[in-house]
A and B are shown apart, each in its own frame.
Chain A
């Protein structure tokens, strides 16, 4: 099964890289450049993505705000959300979890680990 993935990151480099990795892994990728944009893209996707990957520190709407907003919508209450961050600090994970994140990927990710993380939350 090919996963349908929404990736949200304000860094173009990261977006390109996620796109490349996910595409090469056979997944369908949708990209957004910050939380606000992510919400808009999310609403335009039908069916909802199998997984959302999001950066934390972004302009306009950051990762936490984005996750909160996603979780607050009935349609997306249980969509797996992976937080993509270079910050592996426990308190950050804690906050991500409290906000509703399913898991996290520490940047720089290697493709294998990214795919594994996707399987952990989305099969």
Chain B
């Protein structure tokens, strides 16, 4: 069934989206509480989040979720009313409960199940906080979990339809149903459907509203009408307390009713009707007795007399049957609008009423109307839910536009038309517009990293618990917006880095105390924009990288020669080598054979870079730098071996033209260029890409100095630089899988495809082919 056709499916989808927001608010709240914000409003926000999840879950019959949310909510309620003091221990239970709630929501959304023992464990921890002994502390409420099925509404509105019939009946007969017709006192009586009911099947109800009933917006009229629907009703409106007209206070209640209701309903059903008003009225309900029936007949006779002589007064009481409240109400309640108005009947055209949703609001009226009936007149920040595919299509189209714009510029230039000022400025405007459109489209895909960071908060909690450390996660720049795909693809590498930080980065609490640090370690996750890129850091305040050990391991594993002399930074970067793992024993957490090399590959796949800084005793920081978007890139268009290639501009630190004397030779193949006081290895791009055999001489060639991840540099030899421009990134992955040394492709102004290079990968591939040049590392710094 498509979502458009099924309003419940649509609401269900809304519910899960809302759950995400609520879970986010919950995390925020718990975090604020952790940072000392245990004020009422913060606790209330957390409470409200859980409460709303429970409410929605109940409507969809998600019982596991409701049950757990209920236990959670009880604890929060205790916190809210200051019966429970929030301390670190309580918080950790709350955090765990938050995680569990998260899992339960995901499971409910995906139709999966959560291991009940885990739920129970978290639930028990909650119960323990408030001394509750199980989920059935408030069983009554849970039993109300019922599948919400408005679709069944039109079939299932018993009271409504019955009411309609009864009212029509009542309205149609001017003569009230005489009690005589209903049967002699004590004799057999006819039910509403004409079937005989035994004597006394029914109730005598005395109903005296207090003034407060009216003050609370209640109206006896409605209740009497509903009573009437339950059977055959005769009502005596007692007006003996009515003061003279001039002394009447329309806020006050002077009337009461004696009601004789012949019905097969239970007393409970009648009491339920008065549920809202039981505290603001005197209500006695007793089974009908023979005496009651006799009284009924007397009044019936009285009213029959009045029918004959309409001039007569009602005396001590007006008797009405059937449509009793119709005229008594106006006197009693002082609500003139009830007068003479036909009794409300059930809507005959059920759809009609929904039309004017959201109407009648002056401000933002048109906005509300545009939102359609699903949101009605709600004044929210207007949002639309859009299929990601549609956005991607738009992104692609904008990419086309960018290419097309470049093509037009190129042909206009070729045709020598740029001398025409109108064409020139028109073209410039076109270019600007294209850029603006592109930026706007990219912004659609951007999301704050907050949700990602919150997931990491959970990783911190879980890994800290697993290794018995006390760890706090600090986050900065949660509002930083990053492309959705980037966020999705960052989750795995970040998870790994966080686990690493907790597991390896931070010392044990004892070691920390011994080193004069607080026992609680801090992992900081930050995000921000820096010079057109997104920078995300993961840092810990641990002991820093144990370089001696790292070096030892690298040598033992044959990753570097025994006698290698590496700078601190180079040692740190050994962590990124494939197959490197610092853990002595494979730890439960960050082991599993996944090393930082995998993290680096994942970051590189996002066209990002990762670097490491570490200070002994102070901690380690990993810095991830990513392009703002995966769709465009500032590139340098170059030529090598007759091919046009694009080098990402942010990888290039310098360009220069080689003179014959700049080149030094090392060993049989390795050539280097001296840049100021360092030597940088030269890579023949045309040969590395397999376009042609290596060149004999590099003299006169152009060199691109590129920065590598380990902060060393390499020099790519090219034929020349063509242009510098923004290019649209086209994935090669879809059509071809990974091509070594190539990050992606783009389409140039002439319609040709050019490859976008990954210089670090080219260098790495080249070095892997000739492992004996590894020692050059020491010169490259």
Contacts and interface: CB of A to CB of B under 8 A. Distances in A.
A and B touch in the complex (CB under 8 A): yes
Interface of A: 1-3, 10-17, 19-33, 37, 40-41, 44-46, 57-59, 71, 77-81, 86, 88, 94, 97, 100-104, 106-112, 115-117, 119-123
Nearest to B69: A86
A100 B216 contact: yes
Nearest to A76: B217
A14 B173 CA distance: 42
Interface stretch (B221-229, B520-528, B648-656, B724-732): B221-229
A94 B278 CA distance: 11
A123 B222 contact: yes
Nearest to A118: B222
Given A78-B335, A110-B148, A115-B160, A19 B376 contact: yes
B52 A10 contact: yes
Contact of A80 (B145, B219, B349): B219
A37 B378 CA distance: 8
A24 B226 contact: no
Contacts of B380: 12, 33
In the complex, which of the residues B141, B145, B146, B280 has the most CB atoms of chain A within 10 Å of its own CB atom?
Answer: B141
B217 A78 contact: yes
Interface of A is mostly: mixed
Interface string B208-241: 0000001111110111011000000000000000
29 contacts: A1-B347, A2-B352, A3-B353, A12-B380, A14-B59, A15-B375, A20-B7, A23-B353, A24-B154, A26-B347, A26-B348, A26-B352, A27-B353, A28-B356, A29-B376, A30-B377, A33-B380, A37-B379, A44-B363, A78-B217, A100-B217, A108-B145, A111-B150, A111-B156, A112-B153, A112-B157, A112-B159, A121-B276, A123-B219
B153 A111 contact: yes
B376 A30 contact: yes
Nearest to A40: B379
B350 A26 contact: yes
B225 A11 contact: no
B55 A112 contact: no
B144 A108 contact: yes
B376 A31 contact: yes
Contacts, number: 232
Given A15-B375, A19-B374, A123 B156 contact: no
Interface in B2-49: 7-8, 10-11, 14-15, 17-18, 44-45, 47-48
A109 B146 CA distance: 8
A30 B357 contact: yes
A63 to B, nearest CB: 12
A119 B163 contact: yes
Contacts of B14: 12-13, 16
A15 B379 CA distance: 12
Contact of B376 (A3, A15, A24, A78): A15
A10 B360 CA distance: 21
Given A12-B18, A107-B59, A119 B153 contact: no
5 tightest A-B CB contacts, nearest first: A26-B347, A103-B276, A23-B354, A108-B58, A26-B350
A26 B346 CA distance: 8
A86 B699 CA distance: 81
A121 B219 contact: yes
A120 to B, nearest CB: 6
B98 interface: no
Contact of A102 (B7, B47, B276, B350): B276
Contacts of A11: 18, 52, 55-56
Given A25-B350, A123-B225, A112 B158 contact: yes
A81 to B, nearest CB: 5
B295 interface: no
Interface string B182-223: 000000000000000000000000000000001111110111
A41 B148 contact: no
B218 A121 contact: yes
B496 to A, nearest CB: 35
Given A16-B374, A101-B216, A121-B217, 11 more contacts: A12-B378, A13-B11, A13-B18, A26-B348, A31-B357, A78-B335, A97-B280, A110-B146, A112-B153, A112-B157, A116-B226
B361 interface: yes
B280 A57 contact: no
Contact of A26 (B54, B222, B351, B360): B351
A11 B55 CA distance: 9
In the complex, which of the residues B17, B157, B219, B378 has the most CB atoms of chain A within 10 Å of its own CB atom?
Answer: B378
Interface string B749-776: 0000000000000000000000000000
